[in-house]
Chains A and B, each alone.
Chain A
């Protein structure tokens, strides 16, 4: 089963390498890893999506916690949380196909962020299923390039993954 981990780490050089190295060394598979600084510039949040049973998850969590630069690890899978991913898709768009592509984008509340005589870039955010659905619909036109950010997530409501004080 897929798990989403929210991991707060020190915003220091080498921390990403330590986390990535840990996953490869111990044979854990990462689906996606997104990292960026938090409201506190000394701290970064990594959102890691991984596949594995509870045993794997327990080991991953413990090994992550063991890293000195890891401040907090939370499994958001069972939590009420908002999960988003951003994707940009460059599709082949001859002038006659443009309106159909724009309609699809519209249905998915996506935006056209670039147009050239033969291509369009569509930007969309959403959860994985939505992005996968849009991608499969756009395939018929020909996808030239695609970039996904990987998932980021936050728990809903008052609760927060930042109990480092």
Chain B
């Protein structure tokens, strides 16, 4: 028998049914009924300091745990502040449900106080969004929202709930089923295409596996490893694919593309068969399209048919879930032998390793990342965006899925710190470190309050060079060293900033202090900020200039 409840009570009931344990958010006028109900519920509400960070925390939580992240904001400015976080989750296929309060239905369209057309605004950055106009639709809508966000190619869904819908009385019953005629993700690959793919892999002389974030989303790392070992194909990953394949494995090539390893880029250029799994041939990966993998046939495994042949033409498309398709592929493969190809790759690896000045004369960011890896190899690393992100990608060796969390598609500075907080909330037993730049960290550093007050001990490692470093690097290389608007200066004092919030602040200027600082931060059981004063002119290398072929690489001389 259905019971009579308010929309807000029904909302909480729905979240229980969806096993939501935490919401990141900020209340407001049009969310009062829901927050009033949350007050008595067992769902944890983490009060953040800016709604953008609520979305990033939900995102970090989702990437670290595989569960759907939930964020919530009030109508108008609260809702629009979520937008960057939602767009970020959309680009990187992160399961997230964003709830927004809305002005009462009778006032919608009237330019009411704190009204924004958030369903209109988020149309192109959500899988789907809903404006609930009738409280009776609330349970079904929330069920659909969680289902759509977490299935197929995951992504954010926004549900806009007017205040009068939260107070209306309804007979609550959580629907067991619902029908979505237009939404039926393909999970299993087509058997004929799988057969063709197996043959192509067996026939190939120089195959390469190109793995993306889809492998991690699909929890298919084991299958990927089995495929690579059976086919004896080296594996390169995208930025978001880091952790999908252990970088300690002899078949690992590291990352491909603009700041990828030279050997991955050379292998990609010479391969005769790309086995793409859950990756989308982003422009940062392919470089100049005409020169990308000129001799290669392409097998493309992706759950989203719209990604197939979008930028690179594909000879064997397989629409399906990575785990399911890889399982089928493995069944058909017979162990291969590829002495020549693997020998060539070994030679490239020896000749063109990642390198930087290890003399220890100045504090190098690459050295710091290596030290972080040495102190806590099992940490979850989140990153901001720019140089810090690329060094974190290049010099930490990721061996497990969900251990590298970064804003790939949208490239959102300020993402890493709130994402770290979200990841730590989802995985409290893990060490979580945000590798940051001084520019990025200042975009969301107010969340130190959230971390301190909610006792969420994450470490922020600021690679402080006083610049918007990646832009400065491009200015150095392509704009005649004219550093327009990229110098950030020496303010603030990050140690004092951390202390002002009640966090631990540590300053590091010498290479010899690096390790102990990291150890102190991660064992302090407090949110910590380490301000590493790094060599301000250090660049991220190797680098493929934008628009060049990926084997046309800038690197250190000599």
- Interface residue ranges, A against B (CB under 8 Å): 9-10, 13-14, 17-18, 21-22, 25, 55, 58-59, 62-63, 65-71, 164
Is the pair A68, B123 in contact by a Cβ cutoff of 8 Å? no
Q: Which of B119, B124, B183, B306 contacts A62 (CB 8 A)?
A: B306
Contacts of B86 in A (CB 8 A): none
Distance of A55 Cα from B310 Cα, bound (Å)? 9
Q: Quick check: A68 and B305 within 8 Å, CB to CB? A: no
Residue pair A17, B123 in contact (C-beta under 8 Å): yes
Whether A67 touches B123, Cβ cut-off 8 Å, given contacts A59-B306, A62-B305, is: no
**B128 CB contact (under 8 Å) in A17, A22, A59, A68:** A68
Contact indicator A14/B182 (Cβ below 8 Å): no
Minimal beta-carbon separation of A59 from chain B (angstroms): 7
How far, in whole Å, are A6 and B15 apart by their CA atoms in the complex?
38
Q: How far is the CB of A100 from chain B (nearest CB, A)?
A: 49
Residues of A within 8 A of B127 (CB): 68
Q: Is B337 an interface residue (CB 8 A)?
A: no
| Given A14-B123, A18-B123, A25-B124: A9 and B306 interface contact (C-beta under 8 Å) | no
Known: A14-B119, A21-B124. A71 touches B182 (CB 8 A): yes
Residues of B participating in the A interface, judged by any CB pair closer than 8 Å: 119-120, 123-124, 127-129, 131, 148, 180-183, 304-306, 308-310
Indicate if the CB atoms of B306 and A66 lie closer than 8 Å.
yes
B124 near A67 (CB under 8 angstroms)?
no
A59 to B131, CA, bound (A): 28
Chain B residues with CB under 8 A of A10: 181-182
Question: In the assembly, what is the distance between CA of A123 and CA of B119, in Å?
Answer: 39
**Which residues on A sit within 8 Å (CB–CB) of B305?**
62, 65-66
Residues of A within 8 A of B304 (CB): 66
A38 CB to nearest B CB, Å = 13
Q: Give the residue of B119, B131, B182, B309 whose beta carbon is less than 8 angstroms from that of A69.
A: B182
Residue in chain B with minimal CB distance to A17? B123
Cα-based distance from A138 to B127 in the complex (angstroms)? 47
> Which of chain A's residues have a CB closer than 8 A to the CB of B148?
68
- Decide if B309 touches A58 in the complex (CB within 8 Å): yes
Q: List 14 A-B contacts (CB under 8 A).
A: A9-B182, A10-B182, A22-B124, A58-B309, A63-B306, A65-B305, A66-B305, A66-B306, A67-B128, A68-B148, A68-B182, A68-B183, A70-B182, A71-B181
